[in-house]
Amino acid sequence: MGEIKLASRMATMKESATLALNARAKQLAAEGKTIHNLTAGELATDTPDYIQAAVAQKLQHNKYTPVAGLMELREAIAQHSREFYGLGWIKAENVVVTAGAKPAIAASLVALLDADDEVIVPTPAWTVSYKPLIELAGGHMVEVPLTAELDLDVQAIEAAITTKTKAIIVNSPNNPTGTVYSTAAVGQLAQALQNKNITVIADDIYTKLVFDEGFSAVPTAGFENLIIINGLSKSQALTGWRIGYLIATTAVAEATTSLLSHITGNAPLPSQYAGLAAMERNDQPPTSTLDDLRRKRLLVSAGLTDAGINFQMPGGAFYFLLDLRDFTDDGAKWCEELLVDAGVALVPGDAFGAPGYARLTFVADDSTLQSALSQIKKFVKGTS
Ligand code: PLP
């Protein structure tokens, strides 16, 4: 075989750091090492029974659907989202069903960006995939740090806006911090973006996993130009089924549909039926999922405090962002040593625009979390 020369755009395209670390932790476990793998960005629970039952009845269906999804599903998502966000403009024609949230983000960026356009990303954030997707669409990511409380820094965002700024990606609850942006800051951002023709891409994939009262989702803030990204990966533990959607103006919905018609075509049909079943229940996660996460959040916060590690209490999703700066100048090296010496896999913050930090996912069972926390404590006491 000759050597196939890759396009220059692939030079900076690396496999998702979170997926790569998950694979490495699994490989070490397969070699017989005891590994507490706290890297994966997915719930540990099985597919909810009601979704399995609904899809099982549809397995005889096997044909292409319209690229933007079954009309009944688009209608169900539109109705649910109108009520959830209180946004009356959302109709079926504004909804495009996709094979997971990732293609929804990718298609939105390709549809929006011209060469060298800028996309502001308040960080820490899921730059793991935002950056390569922005660059694939020909743009540049502009990172703007969150405040010390991990809220949006609207002044800093305003200062970062240039004539090239096309969009800003806002993700709340946030991956990797788990924090929820304040209603006040999101409202100020909506004010600051008035008449600026900048599109807010609200990555709402974790909006159904919120632990405390008083949550107000980003899209409710009254942004003029808005694309909502969502899906069932996190709310219904369906990461492997690949089902998500975007909600936007009809022009954006049509453009992204055209694009996806040449890439994925429609989202997998069984997963669309799963979506229909979920929408009939307002895409509410099982109560046991939320209760479980609330309990584990307390368990982990107590363990981290005991280990002397700084963090902010997450308000949603299933992540803690550990501040390692008291222990090391090199968070990635610290994580590598933690994995090899203590058998605990975390994701270094570098992947999220947060060097000196590490992300811990708290979906594992209680005994794994407890044992991981005690390993982390021993490791910290040995290195600090
Ligand atoms: N957005 C954020 C913030 C995520 O953390 C993830 C997955 O980890 C996604 C989008 C992608 O979701 P999906 O698996 O549905 O493509």
Of ligand 1's atoms, which has the minimum distance to the CA of residue 239? Answer: 14
Sign of CA dihedral 267, 271, 276, 281: negative
CA of 104 to the centre of ligand 1 (A): 10
CA of 234 to the centre of ligand 1 (A): 8
Instruction: Please report, as a single letter, which amino acid is at residue 36.
Output: H
Q: Ligand 1 pocket test: which of 109, 234, 321 has the largest number of ligand atoms within 8 Å of its C-beta?
A: 234
Residue at token pair 């947060």:
354
Sign of CA dihedral 301, 305, 307, 312: positive
pTM for this model (two decimals)? 0.96
- Provide the 10 A C-beta neighbour count for residue 264: 17
Quote the Cα angle for 284-169-225, to 5°: 90
CA of 179 to the centre of ligand 1 (A): 16
Radius of gyration of the chain, Cα coordinates, nearest whole angstrom = 21
Cα distance between residue 214 and residue 208, in whole Å: 13
Cβ atoms 244, 231 nearer than 8 A: yes
Q: At 352, phi and psi to the nearest 5?
A: -115, 20
Q: Ligand 1 pocket test: which of 126, 177, 235, 241 has the largest number of ligand atoms within 8 Å of its C-beta?
A: 126
Q: Residue-wise pLDDT tens for the chain (384 aa)?
A: 889 999 988 888 877 777 777 788 888 889 999 999 999 889 999 999 999 999 999 999 999 999 999 999 999 999 999 999 999 999 999 999 999 999 999 999 999 999 999 999 999 999 999 999 999 999 999 999 999 999 999 999 999 999 999 999 999 999 999 999 999 999 999 999 999 999 999 999 999 999 999 899 999 999 999 999 999 999 999 999 999 999 999 999 999 999 999 999 999 999 999 999 999 999 999 999 999 999 999 999 999 999 999 999 999 999 999 999 999 989 989 999 999 899 999 999 998 999 999 999 999 999 999 999 999 999 999 865
CA of 130 to the centre of ligand 1 (A): 10
CA of 308 to the centre of ligand 1 (A): 30
CA distances from 380 to 207, 216, 307 (A): 33, 37, 7
Of ligand 1's atoms, which has the minimum distance to the CA of residue 103? Answer: 16
Cα distance between residue 219 and residue 242, in whole Å: 23
Q: Ligand 1 pocket test: which of 16, 205, 207 has the largest number of ligand atoms within 8 Å of its C-beta?
A: 205
Question: What per-residue confidence (pLDDT) applies to 18?
Answer: 73
Residue at token pair 């368990």:
299
Q: CB under 6 Å to ligand 1: residues?
A: 41, 100-102, 126, 171, 175, 203, 205, 231, 233, 239, 244
Strands (E), 241-300: 244-247
Question: What per-residue confidence (pLDDT) applies to 96?
Answer: 98
Of ligand 1's atoms, which has the minimum distance to the CA of residue 102? Answer: 16
Residue at token pair 């979390």:
369
Q: Is 172 helix (H, G, I), strand (E, B) or coil?
A: coil
Sign of CA dihedral 354, 380, 365, 295: negative
Cis amide linkage into residue 173, ω under 30° from 0: yes
CA of 101 to the centre of ligand 1 (A): 6
Token code pair at residue 121: 């990303």
Of ligand 1's atoms, which has the minimum distance to the CA of residue 232? Answer: 15
Question: What per-residue confidence (pLDDT) applies to 23?
Answer: 82
Question: What per-residue confidence (pLDDT) applies to 256?
Answer: 98
Of ligand 1's atoms, which has the minimum distance to the CA of residue 244? Answer: 15
CA of 129 to the centre of ligand 1 (A): 9
Of ligand 1's atoms, which has the minimum distance to the CA of residue 171? Answer: 3
Residue with CA closest to ligand 1 atom 5: 175
